[in-house]
Structure 1
Amino acid sequence: MGVKRTIFTALAAVALLGTGVSLVNAPTAQAAAVATTQGRAYIHYVKGYSIAVWTTPTADRQLTGKTIKDGSQVTYVDKTTGADGHVWYKLADNQWISGQYAVSQVIPQTSGTLLINEHPAFGVPVFDSPNADQLGTGRILKGGQQLPFVDAQFGFDGHVWYKLGNNEWVNSQFAGIIFDNGKGTSEPIRIKYTPGYSIAVWNSPLINQQPTAKKLKHGTVWKTFKMVEYNNTYWYNLGGNQWINGKYTEFAN
């Protein structure tokens, strides 16, 4: 089941010229992380072995007697931090697994625009389905290409696959969603790194990206134009060919 995520407000109110970006006053900070409590998880343990399913993530948890094999995919309906400090995923009533042995996957949205994330010298193949018996269609997508998708679902490999059209699917490992609401407002973000240090500004969110000469200091606040999501990692556009990694930011609402 696709899980909708809260998407930040995009498009800055003013245009950025050249390599400059708009600096704004810094109000009270809020967490920039977007919370999701439902999704799919891929069991990553030891080949040939299984993990236990527990009754609760609390300290008094008990074994249910159920196990899940390494390499399996499961759907979770909730998640929380357990008594051990790790994330725990709820599969059903009184059925929890430790996030120590599960890689979470979520579907940000089921339609929109994709940005193909691959080196321009290479291509991304399109397949006829996201299933294990998939076949290549012969269509190849170029790095940097933008195109619409009309559906999304989990594939046989545990990754999200995007549907481009009838019998045309592309793996999310090579495609990111562009979030751009087309409005003339922006939500500023604050650089959250190490006091006294700066983060790099990149010319692209793509795999062949290069750093620009610009750096942004910890604690400064900037307007953004749009955002691209790749496998739960967010890249924010500051205007033109200027991008920063969202893991070093927080919303400055």
Structure 2
Amino acid sequence: MNIKSNFVKVTAAAALTLTGVATVSAVKPESTTAKVQAATTKVKINYVPGYGINIWDNYNGGHFTGQRAQHGTTWNVLDQKTDKKGRVWYQVGQNQWIMAQYTTPAGNTVTKNTTTQATATAAKPKKAKKSVQATGDVSAIVTLAEAQLGKNYVWGGTGANGFDCSGLTSYVYSKAAGVNIGRTTYDQVKQGTSVSMKNLQPGDLLFWGSASAPYHVGIYVGNNQYIHAATPGQGVIKQSLSGYFYPSAAKRILN
């Protein structure tokens, strides 16, 4: 075994681990035949205080790794790619990718790639547009909605310690996507684009009651489940869609 060679690879991999984040596991070393890649820039997570953004295993149709990059922490960027939807992603470790739109430049340049230059310089992250036509990563909506599970139902509550149904949806869209969808179910049902219940996607708003004047709203999160501020006795919970309490309408806010 080439002890010196392995030591160099492990040392280089250790240099690529994220800074300031103890809750997310460090980047694993490359295989013994892989080339050593060093970061070219640093970015800081700019999301919602107390929360983090999902880390994905790929920038195009990847899967959530179960790890999150916390707001305010600094990460080394190893590479930059643009997905099929035109969104910029940063590689921050082996099979670890985050969306550029939730970061700001950290201002510190580090050692350049020891084998090849990064494919492009870090792009300035895009801010969410303040309109219901804003585009964004629906994972941010789902992540923030899930973070509210277990909180109290409060009449007229808009967060962050308690919500009513429309207060929860308003809070999540405002904080996670920078989108103002209105305060009441009457306002929110007028936003976005109507979608079929057979074609739901995570982040869609679900409404119960009249399609023009609904009495309840929740957020669809995938796998036939939704999150809503249910009742004073239940608080914010996740439930599966069922025939006895089925939505009457659905709206897609993010394109």
Same fold by TM-score, threshold 0.5 exceeded? no
* TM-score normalised according to structure 2 size: 0.29
* TM-score normalised according to structure 1 size: 0.29
Q: Which has the higher helix share?
A: 2
